[in-house]
Amino acid sequence: MKILTKDFKNKIKEILIKDKSILISGHHNPDGDSLGGSLGLAHLLKNAGYDVTVMMPSNMPEYLEWMPGADDILIYEKGLTDKVIEKADIIFFVDFNAVSRTENAAEALKNSEAIKIMLDHHPQPSDDAEFIFSDTKVSSASEIVYEFINMLGFSEYTDKNVATCLFTGIMTDTLNFSVNSSRPETFEIVSNFLSFGIDKDAIYEKVNNNFSLKRLKLIGYLLYKKMKAVSDYKFAYMLISEKELNEFDFRDGDHEGIVNMPLSVSDINVSVLAIEQDDFVKLSLRSKGDYDVNLLARKYFNGGGHKNAAGGRIYKPYEEVEDYILSSVKDYFSEN
């Protein structure tokens, strides 16, 4: 466990006084880990008698709306939520390494005088928080939240809700335990969660088999009509325009998992999904083994993330994006 702050445990214990108001923030477009880690921590701190609010910078995907506590999440709105941020004494950042990852909420979070605690597993944590509890070796931020709870001696406040939320974070970030889950500790933690009576199979079902028929047709269309592969670089990519998105009633969260599909081909090691938005083209990048899409996203696509999963943006007209992706990837692979 990498603690980047001296005397972390004692200082946190000094800070966490019961009458302080605590805000927990996930990142923009929150995924299962950011929501699971935030809600799990919130349930635990509430059980321990703290005043806690959870905020997300933008809406959560529909397939995670069932999570315990999801109904009480504040979705950031300029002005309205700024007051809540201003009032907070302590703010937790869960599953992100820089405040810019909260997009619209970033300014208010930056301006807040609250003490900030980062619980994360992304590489290169920024100094946007005074206290940083971060490790790239663990499966997820939810696992870090669990370690944090343990370190503080708060495990006795774990209940089924805490276990359900943190389990969901670990399950989703490891793509159902297929990646980033080779440490025995991850399964020890999951084993502990099962002892709280969580319904593992139902959680899997709700997260993975909860999409619309239109989304399945979109996947078919993308794989059959849109996917292109560059065999020299074992690289596949798909571009989708706003017009096409509208044809398939595309909703937040619908693209989840699609970018991984080309990696099921033995000869594809890197996959990119590019989605046209109003002011830029949004990229999801995935890879297998030692292929590092974090570096690729940082160098060419105004983004970053993990070695095998990253995101980015291209600020160019949609028509120019394909050429830009191809030349960037060629450039990157000829250098590395």
Backbone angles phi, psi at 218, to 5 degrees: -60, -45
- Return the SS3 of 181: coil
Q: Which stretch binds Mn ion (CB under 5 A): 26-34, 72-80, 85-93, 214-222?
A: 26-34
Q: How far apart are the C-alpha atoms of 173 and 124, rounded to whole Å? A: 18
Q: Which stretch binds Mn ion (CB under 5 A): 137-145, 219-227, 247-255, 260-268?
A: 137-145
Q: Output 128 or 173, the one with its CB closest to Mn ion.
A: 173
Of 12, 29, 32, 33, the residue at the interface with Mn ion (CB under 5 A) is 33
As measured in angstroms, the least distance from the Cβ of 27 to Mn ion is: 9
Q: Nearest-CA neighbor of 69 among 86, 52, 93?
A: 52
As measured in angstroms, the least distance from the Cβ of 305 to Mn ion is: 9
Q: How far apart are the C-alpha atoms of 250 and 255, rounded to whole Å? A: 8
Q: Find all residues with CB under 8 Å of 61, minimum gap 6, and list them.
A: 30, 31, 251, 252, 253, 256
Q: Output 29 or 140, the one with its CB closest to Mn ion.
A: 140
As measured in angstroms, the least distance from the Cβ of 142 to Mn ion is: 8
45 lies in the binding site for Mn ion (CB under 5 A): no
Site map 87..106 versus Mn ion, x via CB under 5 A: --------x-----------
Q: What does the DSSP 8-state code read for residue 322?
A: H
Q: Output 214 or 298, the one with its CB closest to Mn ion.
A: 298
Size of the site for Mn ion (CB under 5 A): 5
Q: Which stretch binds Mn ion (CB under 5 A): 7-15, 82-90, 171-179, 294-302?
A: 171-179
What's the angle, vertex CA 301, arms to CA 221 and CA 2, rounded to 5? 110
Of 173, 254, 256, 276, the residue at the interface with Mn ion (CB under 5 A) is 173
Contact 112, 91 (CB under 8 A): yes
141 lies in the binding site for Mn ion (CB under 5 A): yes
Q: From residue 243, give the alpha-carbon distance in Å to each of 249, 278, 318, 321.
A: 10, 11, 12, 16
As measured in angstroms, the least distance from the Cβ of 10 to Mn ion is: 27
138 lies in the binding site for Mn ion (CB under 5 A): no
Contact 57, 103 (CB under 8 A): yes
Q: Which residues bind Mn ion (CB under 5 A)?
A: 33, 95, 140-141, 173
